[in-house]
Amino acid sequence: MKKDHILIVGAGLCGSLLALRLGQRGYSVTLVEKRPDLRLHPLDAGRSINLALSERGLKALNHVGLNDKVRALCIPMSGRMIHQNQTAPFFSPYSGRPDTAINSISRPGLNALLLNEVEALPNITLKFNLSCLSVALENGSATFIDNQQQEITLTGDILIGTDGAGSKVRQSMFAAPGLRFSFSQQWLSHGYKELEIPAGPNGSYLMNPEALHIWPRGKDMLIALPNLNGSFTVTLFMSYADQPYGFDHLTQPEAIADYFKTQYPDTLALMPDLVAQYQKNPTGGLGTIRCSPWHCHGKTLIMGDAAHAIVPFYGQGMNASFEDVLVFDQVLDQDHTNWPERFAAFEQARKLNTDAIADLALDNFHEMKEHTADPLFQQKRQLEVAFETELPQHYASKYSLVTFHADIPYHQAMQLGRAQDKAILSLLEEQQLPADLPLEERYQRVEKRTQQLLAQKPTLKHTSL
């Protein structure tokens, strides 16, 4: 039987993986991208050059047979290196289980790998430099404009929008009469700016490359992830409006140098051209997008950031977008007979979970910049690491549930993880977890309190590991 032709708008991370999987399933796919081919034209500087890839994303990439090729691009980071002002940095592992790490990976490197794989399939057509203007939602067609300002229309049996947070496909759904499209965009008070710590002599790393480096400063935060060439991509998260240290106000060279001297003194020697980089690189906004429905007329669907953009503080936006592709693939294995049913099943399976990771990412914004260096938070982390080391069958922290347990949906990870957090923090405050109590007994207390908290919410189920 002839397979449908699928038009995908947006050849970023989600669209490329989706095209690859649908191509592998035998569909005829046209994948259209507004930018030039990034394998020939490097991306603009300063646009999240590297990302943290973890189990959910790896599971989806493994599913299309790319495990080895992706691993070759990864730098494992097994914990956070916390740089406090005035004192020596300390390492806080992500988990007490051995061999658990998140991976720093180049965005263009990963996207290029996916595009190479896409291009190798004869049933996929790739088109660059075509920017989608609007979508005729009822017939799976979209109008694009090319570099010569010529408009062209492409049509599929279905159309899937993976065109990112500013999605034109979603905008067409928003404007569609009668769809009752719900949409919210919640901007964060903070934006981000990328900087670079260059490689040392002979491509050496100037800091430990096996950690995600964080400089938590209460209001603002700096993080750094390693690159394969010995450099680190540094991201400054700072409020726009705060005075004098906000992106809207911090523009003069002396003030920029002064800010880093006061807040991040150990980075000055690592970034000799810091002020020039700060002034040259763009500042990006951070927001959460929620919307529904994700599909209409059984012809058009959105996924990835187009459907659920989140703030980057759990390192899960790309991972969630890759998980979308995996879940869509599972839906295609179910015995639905038409696209409207498949689209509805996909949204039903995903929406609750992408809403959960959106909430968790916002929580982590506060945790990373305010709490990572806080003594109570540190006490909790040490206990969690001890539970994960000694009782790995029984305990996984919220971070581990989200990051390392791809088999546990985000919303279950959120419910269990939040209850555990609350249980440990309240027991620590009540001094119910003294260090001289055997670890097993401390775990029992935490587990009991966690169950009590979960029982207060009858809709919550206990998630078993």
Return residues touching ligand FAD (CB under 6 A).
Answer: 9-15, 32-35, 48, 51-52, 131-132, 162-164, 168, 192, 235, 284, 304-306, 312, 315-319, 321
Name the minimum Å distance from CB 220 to ligand FAD.
Answer: 15
Nearer to ligand FAD, 156 or 164 (CB): 164
Q: Which is nearer to ligand FAD, 11 or 326 (CB)?
A: 11
Q: Which residues pair with 64 in a beta bridge?
A: none
Q: How far is the CB of 212 from ligand FAD (least distance, A)?
A: 9
Q: Which residue is nearest to ligand FAD (CB)?
A: 12
The smaller minimum CB distance to ligand FAD, of residues 163 and 355, is found at 163
Residues 392, 397, 402, 406, Cα dihedral to 10°: 10
Q: Which is nearer to ligand FAD, 318 or 396 (CB)?
A: 318
- CB of residue 307 vs ligand FAD: minimum separation in angstroms? 8
Q: Name which of 95 and 103 has its Cβ closer to ligand FAD.
A: 103
Instruction: State the Cα–Cα distance between residues 29 and 118, nearest whole angstrom.
Output: 10
CB of 309 to ligand FAD, least distance (A): 7
Q: How far is the CB of 322 from ligand FAD (least distance, A)?
A: 8
Shortest approach of ligand FAD to residue 224 CB, angstroms?
12
Q: Which is nearer to ligand FAD, 235 or 288 (CB)?
A: 235
Q: What is the closest distance, in whole angstroms, from the C-beta atom of residue 408 to ligand FAD in the complex?
A: 17
Nearer to ligand FAD, 115 or 454 (CB): 115
Shortest reach from residue 361's CB to ligand FAD, in Å: 9
Select 315 or 417, whichever has its Cβ closest to ligand FAD.
315
